[in-house]
Structure 1
Amino acid sequence: MRARSALFDVYGGHLRERGGAATIAALVRLLEPLEFAAPAVRTAVSRTVRQGWLAPVRLPAGPGYAMTPRAERRLDEAAARIYRTRPSTWDGRWHVVVLEEVPAREARERLASSLQLLGYGALGPVTWISPRPSAELADVLAAEGVRGGTFLGEHEGDAAELAARAWDLADLGRDYARFTAEWGPVMSAVDGTSPAGAFAASQRLLHAWRKFLFRDPGLPRELLPARWPGAGAAEFFDRHTARLAPAVAGFVDDCLGTN
């Protein structure tokens, strides 16, 4: 886990619902159980500010940093998929994005990563699909200076086969099963008696789980293979996150000075 990723997880998972801002001192305290020293936290904050995700603010406890509207949109989008808060129904239509041209290599790689994070899968160099539109799509395209058209449409064929073309569901399913097997013993060893330890374990679990956002668009059940391992992995993540939530919340509030 890098400090910048940990910072995003803290803002999205804890600070978003607590006003979306914190002092640098509070951020240092929050990331200490994850073994990030103060200089690494300050460097991550500075980099995140330069990238337009955080902005300096004045808080009652001193100078701090708040999420920008762009960061709020990105983190809300991620949270909806991490915790599966959006309706799972599907009307049979795909949101299709057709780029006007293929970007240069570096921009293409950044764009692909961002589109995958929003839940889009590639059907070709300029064609991407998702089971639902993303409110952040326009921002992502604009950030790379890429133009494209979008529309909602039904596939004249087997929708499950189309999904299997855009996403490697077999490999994804194996990794979901591996996730549960690997993290089972780790999380079973954490009982929540140490708030800092519970926070560190919960954040590391979240970091590992969040990696699936780049690969799993949250397809409706009818498009997934039978006995989908992702369902069991999601139940595992939810159960341990909820189990440690009281200790984690107490630790966060202590670091923010709100207890």
Structure 2
Amino acid sequence: MHARSALFDLYGDHLRACGSQAPVAALVRLLAPVGIAAPAVRTAISRMVMQGWLEPVALPDGRGYRATDQATRRLDEARARIYRRRDEPWDGHWHLVLVTYPPDRSARTRLRADLAYLGYAELADTVWVGPVASPELDGALARAGATARTARARDVAPSPADAWDLAALRASYDGWPAVAGALVAGHLAAHDDPDEAAFAARFHLVHEWRKFLFADPGLPAEVLPADWPRDEAAQCFAAEAGRLKPAADRFVARCLPSAADCPA
């Protein structure tokens, strides 16, 4: 688990209800149970500030960092996808993005990763496709210094659904209950403090489930097999995450005293 990804998970899953901010000491304490060392946390914070995801803020408990508006939008979108709060009907049109890449190689790499995260797949060279238009597309393009033209199309050949490895995605969903069970059991056995154990288990559970945001574009039911296993895997995730949440919240409250006054 990388420190940057862990910080995104922490702000998105635990700190959103508390103003999306926390002292540095609390961030370090919260990430220690999942194996992220203090120097890695501080380095990741610095990089996220430079990238526009975090901003420094003075807090009663010391110097801290708050999620920027850009980060809050990303985190809210991710949370909606993680907990399946959005189920909009599909109008049958695909969203095509014809990208003009920036000259910088690292910027191109970041843009490809961002487009995949937003639910797009590369249909052909410079042509990306998704089931719906992402509201974050313009921001991703701007951060990379790229431009694009967009279009909507009902009939696209080859089938856009073939742009994703659905066989591998099915295997991941089918294997999720076993993966989740082993992950949670391992953390519960590894920590003496039950609240810390629940926090670490739930944190890692959400982190692993979050990977589906990069692999699964949320294709509409109309183009998926009738026995698609996503909903069953999602129910398994939600049940385990919900079971662990009360104890995990208690651990957050201990590390971040102001969390005690935050809504669940």
**1:1-259 alignment to 2 at 5 Å?**
1-100=1-100, 105-155=105-155, 162-187=159-184, 190=188, 194-258=194-258, 259=260
- Identify which range, 5-14 or 85-94, moves more after superposition: 85-94
For the residues of structure 2 that align with 1:156 and 1:217, how far apart are their CA atoms? 17
Residue 253 of structure 1 aligns to which amino acid in structure 2? A
Q: Is the 8 A contact 1:77 1:118 kept in 2?
A: no
- Percent identical among aligned pairs is 50
Q: Residue 24 of structure 1 contacts residue 64 of structure 1 at CA under 8 Å; is this kept in 2?
A: yes
Determine helix, strand or coil for the equivalent of 2:124.
coil
CA contact (8 A) 2:24 2:63 kept: yes
In the TM superposition, residue 104 of structure 1 has moved relative to its aligned partner by 5.5
Cα distance change on mapping 1:188 and 1:37 into 2, 3 Å: closer
Deviation string 1:156-195 (CA, Å, 9 cap, x unpaired) is: 67xxx72432211111111222232222233356499811
Shift of 1:103: 5.4
8 Å contact from structure 2 (residues 195, 250) kept in 1: yes
Closer/same/farther in 2, CA of residues 17 and 197 from structure 1, 3 Å limit: same
Whichever residue aligns with residue 97 of structure 1, its letter is V
Query: What's the offset of the Cα at 1:240?
Result: 0.4
Contact in 2 for aligned 1:88/1:220 (Cα 8 Å): no
The Cα shift of 1:246 comes to 0.8
Normalization by structure 2: what TM-score? 0.89
3-state DSSP of counterpart to 1:25: helix
Quote the offset at 1:94 in angstroms. 1.6
Larger displacement relative to structure 2 (212-221 or 103-112): 103-112
Q: Per-residue CA shift, 1:97-155, capped at 9, x if unaligned? A: 11245855433322111001001111111111111211110011111111111133322
Contact 1:3/1:44 (CA < 8 Å) preserved in 2? yes
Q: 1:125 to 1:108 in 2, by over 3 A?
A: farther
Equivalents in 1 of 2:28, 2:107: separation in Å?
Answer: 33
Counterpart AA for 1:181? A
Q: What is the alpha-carbon distance in structure 2 between the residues aligned to residue 245 and residue 101 of structure 1?
A: 42
Match of 1:199, SS? Answer: helix
**Which consecutive residues of structure 2, in runs of 5 or more, have no partner in the other structure?**
none
State the one-letter code of the partner of 2:91: D
Counterpart CA distance in 1 for 2:102 and 2:49 is 29
Distance in 2 between the 1:99 and 1:43 partners?
32
Instruction: Give the structure-1-normalised TM-score.
Output: 0.91
Asked if structure 2 preserves the Cα contact closer than 8 Å seen for 1:117 and 1:214, the reply is: yes
The answer to whether the Cα contact below 8 Å between 1:120 and 1:217 also exists between their aligned partners in 2 is yes
Describe the superposition over 1:193-239 as per-residue Cα deviations: whole angstroms up to 9, x where unpaired: 81111010111111111111111011122221232122222111111
What is the one-letter code of the residue matched to 2:183? V
Greater shift after overlay, 38-47 or 164-173? Answer: 38-47
